[in-house]
Structure formats: C-alpha cells, structure tokens
C-alpha cells in the first residue's frame, strides 16, 4: 500500500526539493502550491498539518512541484497573482505583476482629483494590472489600455470582467500610440526596460516571462524614447506622464523627458529604496 503523506510531510519534502533546485523561497512556494491544489489558505495548511492527503491530491501537487523545480514561476502554475489587493489571473503570455509596479498606481492617484471624470492611457497593459487598479479606485476614471499582444489583451479583458470594471476600460491592440487618438490627463506605463545584453543572465523565473515585455533594447531605454517622442500629442494641458523604470535608469529617463520638453516632477523609490517610478508634467 502506498504511503499516505500528510500536509506537513509534503510541505517539508517539497521545500527541500525546491531549495536544491535553486528556488529563492522554497518553503513559501511549497505552501502556495499545496494551498492551490487543496483550495486552502496558508494558515489553513498549518491548522491541518497532520491531515493525510489522497493519491489524486498528492499527484496533482507533485506535478506542480516538478514544474516549479524547473523554475516556472509560481504565478504561472497557479494562474493567479495579487496586485493592489486585486486577484488577477495571469498566464504565460503576460508579465507577472510586481509589488513595485503598485507605485505607478499610487503616483497616478496622487496627481488626480478623485470623483472627476478623467481619461487615462496605459501603454503595455499586460494582464491589465495598472488599468484595473486605477479603474477600481475611482468610477470616474476611464482607462484606455494598450498592448501589442492579443494574448495579453485577452487576459486583461477577462480580468476586467471578473472585477466588473469592463465598462471603464477600453482595450486596444496597438504598438504604443499607433492606433490611439484623443487626449488624456495621464499617460502611464511599465515598459520593457531590461538591456538586451542582460536578458540571457536573468533568473530562470524572469526569463520564463514574455521577452516582448522585458527587452528594452541595447541600453534599456528604447521605449522611453518612443513614449517621450510622441506623448505630448496625446496629453491634455496640463497632463502627466508616469513611468516605471529600472533601478539605475532614473537619471537617463529624466534626461530623455526633459529633452522632449517635459517637466520632471519626482522620482519615487520602491520598498527596497531603489528608484522605481518617474513622474513628469506637460503644460
């Protein structure tokens, strides 16, 4: 008769395996994946530490642990990621939302008056994280969410419908401004900003994400140049540009914005103390 594993035994075994495979948070990953299989929160796992699992549950869990050992991101395995306290669906066709990107949402909210109808343009929406967070914060916000990837837009639309904000968001398949018209109070984006030469050195989990959402060109600044070169034509006066940046790009992005005629307002640091978001004004 096959051994019947308990929740505690499986977590301990799996955490050890994932540590051997180089995962940075092996126990957390083991807990999240078992919680996903069983439909339990992490606390509930510990309240049921000695509960034995059936063969189907163990098999499903082993499959996920095996894939995590291949360094597939946990969010792709569970199909979920929380962003701005919102449960988002994600797939391998979109960038996994990061906590640092919440600073883009925070800065946009700082710049706008609540309760006033406002047009916002988000470039490169991916899973829709930024657009959805903004729409959920204020029913007066109307967001045009752009992405060049049809697969990403399908995920973003599904998230908007699940969160019941689809009437506030217009999704457009476009290469940045290519198919955009009208003017907006804010243009915001988390564009690709990794240098092409650094892509091959990325952690396996990051390398598993779409290259389209990572590759910022030779110096990592291609998309910032493109945005600043065109943004003024799509902004109200006054209007704002809010962009996520790489930790070492604040000076270069500020220079690009100012050379294009924008007034730099602020560089915002993230939870780790790194430069993460820059804000500009157009008037």
> How many domains would you assign to the chain?
2
Residues 22-61: tens digit of each pLDDT: 999 999 999 999 999 999 999 999 999 999 999 999 999 9
Share of the chain above pLDDT 90, in %: 96
Cβ proximity of 161 and 89 under 8 Å = no
pLDDT of residue 1 exceeding 60, the answer is no
The answer on 148 and 13 residing in a single domain is: no
Same domain, 29 and 118: no
The two tokens of residue 223 are: 């998309």
**Strand-pair partners of 188:** 122, 242
Say whether both 150 and 278 belong to one domain.
yes
- Is-contact 186 146, C-beta < 8 A? no
pLDDT at 176 over 70: yes
Task: Judge whether 128 lies within some domain.
Answer: yes
Residues 250 and 152 grouped into a single domain = yes
Within-domain flag for 78: no
Q: Are residues 62 and 185 in the same domain?
A: no
Q: What percent of the chain is modeled with pLDDT above 70? A: 99
Give yes or no: residues 56 and 145 share one domain.
no
82 within domain boundaries: no
- Structure confidence at residue 115 (pLDDT): 87
Q: What is the mean pLDDT of residues 227-233?
A: 97
Are 131 and 181 part of one and the same domain? Answer: yes
| CATH at residue 269 | 3.40.50.150
- Looking at 39, 71, 103, the residue that finishes a domain is 71
Residue 4 has what pLDDT?
A: 85
Q: What is the C-alpha to C-alpha distance for residues 173 and 156, in angstroms, rounded to an integer? A: 12
* Res. 280 pLDDT band, cuts 50 70 90: very high
User: What pLDDT digit, counting tens, does each position of 90-137 carry?
Assistant: 999 899 999 999 999 999 999 999 889 999 999 999 999 999 999 999
Residue 257 has pLDDT above 90, yes or no: yes
Range of the domain at 42: 7-71
Residues 32 and 97 in one domain: no
Say yes or no: 40 and 122 in one domain.
no
Do 142 and 54 fall within a single domain?
A: no
Q: What is the pTM of this model?
A: 0.93
Q: Is residue 88 part of a domain?
A: no
Q: How many CB atoms lie within 10 A of CB 28?
A: 14
Task: Quote the pLDDT of residue 39.
Answer: 95
**Same domain, yes or no, for 63 and 113?**
no
**pLDDT at residue 2 is higher than 80:** no
Distance set, CA 161 to CA 81, 130, 156 (Å): 16, 15, 9
Question: Tens of pLDDT along 115-124?
Answer: 899 999 999 9
pLDDT at 252 over 70: yes
Q: Is residue 77 one of the residues assigned to a domain?
A: no
Q: Identify the residue whose tokens are 């096959």.
A: 2
Parallel/antiparallel/unpaired status of strands 275-282 and 235-244: antiparallel
Distance CA 82, CA 96 (A): 10
Q: How confident is the model at residue 243 (pLDDT cuts 50, 70, 90)?
A: very high
Question: pLDDT at position 3, please?
Answer: 72
């Amino acid at each position: 008769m096959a051994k019947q594993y308990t929740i505690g035994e499986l977590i301990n075994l799996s955490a050890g395996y994932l540590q051997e495979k180089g995962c940075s948070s092996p126990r957390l990953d083991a807990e999240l994946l078992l919680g996903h299989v069983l439909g339990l929160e992490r606390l509930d796992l510990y309240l049921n530490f000695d509960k034995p699992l059936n063969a189907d549950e163990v098999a499903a869990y082993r499959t996920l642990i095996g894939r995590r050992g291949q360094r597939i991101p946990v969010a792709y395995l569970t199909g979920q990621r929380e962003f701005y306290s919102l449960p988002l669906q994600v797939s391998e066709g979109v960038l996994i939302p990061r906590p640092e990107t919440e600073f883009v949402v925070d800065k946009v909210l700082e710049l706008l008056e609540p309760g006033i109808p406002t047009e916002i343009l988000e470039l490169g929406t991916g899973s829709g994280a930024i657009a959805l967070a903004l729409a959920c914060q204020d029913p007066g916000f109307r967001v045009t969410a752009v992405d060049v990837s049809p697969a990403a837009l399908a995920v973003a639309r599904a998230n908007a419908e699940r969160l019941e904000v689809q009437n506030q968001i217009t999704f457009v398949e476009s290469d940045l401004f290519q198919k955009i018209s009208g003017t907006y109070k804010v243009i915001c984006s988390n564009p690709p900003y990794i240098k092409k030469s650094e892509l091959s050195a990325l952690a396996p989990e990051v390398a598993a994400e779409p290259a389209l959402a990572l590759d910022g060109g030779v110096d990592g600044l291609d998309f910032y140049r493109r945005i600043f070169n065109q943004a003024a034509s799509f902004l109200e006066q006054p209007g704002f540009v809010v962009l996520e940046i790489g930790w070492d790009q604040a000076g270069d992005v500020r220079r690009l914005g100012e050379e294009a005629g924008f007034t730099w307002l602020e560089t915002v640091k993230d939870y780790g103390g790194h430069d993460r978001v820059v804000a500009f004004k157009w008037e």
